Amino acid sequence: MQWVQNTIFSLGYIIVTRRSKAKENGVVSYVTLICDRGGEYKFKESSKKSGTKKTNCKFRLEQDENNVSTLKTIYNAQQKLRSSQNVGKTPIQIVGVTSTNKTFSIAFAFIINEKEENYNWALTCLKLTLEECMYPRVIVTDRELALMNACQQAFPDATRQNLPCFGLLRGFVALEALDILEGELQRSSRHNLTLQIVVVNYVIVVVTIRECIPLDSIDVFWKKLDLSWSTSMENEDICCDSELEMFKENFTKQSKAGKKNVRGDGNCGFRTISVCVGYGEDQWLYVRHQLLDELLSSYDVYARVFIDGIDELRNSLCFSQSPAPAEHWMVMPMTGVLIANRFGVILNYLTKRGDITFFPLWRGPEHFQYHHAITIAHVYDNHNVMVQLEGDYPMPTISAYWIRHKAPSTAGWQTMYMSRLEFYKQLKHCNLKTPVITIEDYC
């Protein structure tokens, strides 16, 4: 009772005993606790001023020695509540098949509806967690066209088949694997999983049921107990001089700096950021969703950063069509703050009106094992392109948002790039006689 009283009081409430029942030996066998504002308020004409009025609060806590509820009862009730909250959402389970014919869970997700953009979002999120050597070689799904198209976009190099057309998989995976896939399909039906994606790694592709698996033929990746990047387990004498020479030859043919244009459909800003962070131009909608989630997840904090402009920023991100009207174009410099924070990058934004550098507001350099800078340029007053700058180029003036609202732990950004920031200031005040390259001339 004392624990209940203290816990409720710490939350700002008071409870009282409504009724109780004691045995002959004085031990309380039944008690009902309610909020002190429980029940209906009855108005009485009186010269006295009453205290807190009853508000018909429904809170009720009962203790009964005959109650046989256990922790399992509570867990079951919680699971029932969660299940009711997930009504209307499509569950996705993604599983894999190992070289030892065992299945394992890779990911679970809930999507609002079975549309291609939702499937694409789920698969893209999965892809971001994988190293390139872990990309699937075979993907097996049910015959859902939207899902099949999403698989094509996320993993274009994978062989895709739909269940139950297992005959088409012959020659790609082992016969044993086909039995496993059939079992997974039946299991998903029993557990009411609307969709199950089976990912078969490349190791099982080269194994047949009639052969033993030599240990030496198993990739080093599968000999570890973790999923981190693989390193060679022994010193191997490998010669790659010809490959290095070919790489060097091709590298010298490339320019030291350049730009990449994207489709000008009103989403060009998001397309450019998608290219810069490595997703590809077609993942612009995913970038929109990520930036909107960044804004909404810390809305109160960003409201103090952007003050009057936050409604315009939110409206610009709430759009998913192509082409996009002007009110849904990327709003700078506010969106630059979201980009740096969400993707953990340094963003250089080049315009005729002035260049800006955006650092992450709340995470300093020590929070990142690796970080890099990306550059985009605003041209023709209505288009954005990616610009590739190399070397210790001058870094533009830091965003005023970062100066005013940065966390103390992020001061290391300015210290780390101080020389390049100062170099930019010096160039601005110099009367340069060297030729100036206009980006628009190359768009």
Q: Residue 277 has what DSSP assignment?
A: T
What are the pLDDT digits (tens) for 81-102? Answer: 766 666 667 778 788 877 676 7
Instruction: Tell me how far apart the alpha carbons of residues 379 and 354 are, in angstroms, rounded to a whole number.
Output: 12
Rounded (5°) CA angle 405-406-412: 160
pLDDT of residue 221: 58
Residue where a domain terminates, one of 170, 203, 222: 222
Residue owning tokens 């392109």 = 385
Instruction: Tell me how far apart the alpha carbons of residues 409 and 365 are, in angstroms, rounded to a whole number.
Output: 9
Q: Are residues 213 and 174 in the same domain?
A: yes
Asked if the structure places residue 371 within a domain, the reply is yes
Per-residue pLDDT band for 4 (boundaries 50, 70, 90) equals: confident
Per-residue pLDDT band for 209 (boundaries 50, 70, 90) equals: very low
Q: What is the pTM (predicted TM-score) of this model?
A: 0.44
Which residue range(s) make up the domain with 98? 90-222
pLDDT of residue 208: 33
pLDDT at 12 exceeding the cut of 70:
yes
pLDDT at 18 exceeding the cut of 50:
yes
Per-residue pLDDT band for 223 (boundaries 50, 70, 90) equals: low
Smallest Cα–Cα separation from 292: which of 277, 307, 302, 282?
302
Q: Are residues 392 and 339 in the same domain?
A: yes
Asked if the structure places residue 240 within a domain, the reply is no
Asked if the structure places residue 80 within a domain, the reply is no
Per-residue pLDDT band for 346 (boundaries 50, 70, 90) equals: very high
User: Is-contact 127 155, C-beta < 8 A?
Assistant: yes
pLDDT of residue 371: 85
Average pLDDT, stretch 118-141? Answer: 84
Higher pLDDT residue, 363 or 9? 363
CATH at 292: 3.90.70.80
Q: Residue 308 has what DSSP assignment?
A: G
Asked if the structure places residue 246 within a domain, the reply is no
Q: Are residues 154 and 271 in the same domain?
A: no
What is the CB-side half-sphere exposure of residue 191 using CA atoms within 13 A?
A: 13
Q: What percent of the chain has pLDDT above 70?
A: 64
57, two tokens? 């609060």
Asked if the structure places residue 227 within a domain, the reply is no
Domain count, the chain: 3
What are the pLDDT digits (tens) for 367-397? Answer: 887 788 999 999 888 899 998 887 888 899 9
What are the pLDDT digits (tens) for 160-192? Answer: 665 555 555 555 555 566 666 666 666 655 554
Q: Are residues 6 and 112 in the same domain?
A: no
SS (H, E, C) 50-74: CCCCCCCCCCEEEEECCCCCCHHHH
pLDDT of residue 216: 62
Residue where a domain terminates, one of 207, 222, 237: 222
Q: Are residues 286 and 420 in the same domain?
A: yes
Q: Are residues 108 and 216 in the same domain?
A: yes
Higher pLDDT residue, 292 or 202? 292
Max CA distance (Å), the chain = 103
Average pLDDT, stretch 213-231? Answer: 58
Q: What percent of the chain has pLDDT above 90?
A: 24
Average pLDDT, stretch 290-310? Answer: 90
Q: Are residues 354 and 308 in the same domain?
A: yes
What is the CB-side half-sphere exposure of residue 5 using CA atoms within 13 A?
A: 4
Asked if the structure places residue 324 within a domain, the reply is yes
Residue where a domain terminates, one of 52, 67, 82: 67
Q: Are residues 59 and 108 in the same domain?
A: no
Q: Is 408 exposed, middle or buried (0-12, 13-18, 19+ CB in 10 A)?
A: exposed
User: Is-contact 428 396, C-beta < 8 A?
Assistant: no
Q: Residue 402: what residue type?
A: W
E strand spans, 341-441: 346-350, 356-358, 373-379, 383-388, 397-398
Q: Are residues 171 and 129 in the same domain?
A: yes
pLDDT of residue 161: 60
What are the pLDDT digits (tens) for 399-432? Answer: 999 999 999 989 999 999 999 999 888 877 665 5
Sheet strand arrangement including 159-162: 103-111, 90-97, 195-200, 138-141, 159-162
Per-residue pLDDT band for 204 (boundaries 50, 70, 90) equals: very low
pLDDT at 233 exceeding the cut of 60:
no
Q: Are residues 283 and 417 in the same domain?
A: yes
Q: Are residues 134 and 30 in the same domain?
A: no
Per-residue pLDDT band for 206 (boundaries 50, 70, 90) equals: very low
Asked if the structure places residue 19 within a domain, the reply is yes
Q: Are residues 101 and 59 in the same domain?
A: no
| 425-441: burial string, b at 16+ Cβ within 10 Å, e else | eeeeeeeeeeeeeeeee
User: Is-contact 383 443, C-beta < 8 A?
Assistant: yes
Instruction: Tell me how far apart the alpha carbons of residues 15 and 57 are, in angstroms, rounded to a whole number.
Output: 11
Instruction: Tell me how far apart the alpha carbons of residues 376 and 346 are, in angstroms, rounded to a whole number.
Output: 11
| Least confidently predicted of 33-42, 128-137, 214-223 | 214-223
Give the torsion sign (CA, 432, 434, 435, 439). negative
Smallest Cα–Cα separation from 395: which of 352, 361, 347, 436?
347
Q: What is the mean pLDDT of the chain?
A: 75
pLDDT of residue 3: 75
Asked if the structure places residue 75 within a domain, the reply is no
What is the CB-side half-sphere exposure of residue 251 using CA atoms within 13 A?
A: 6
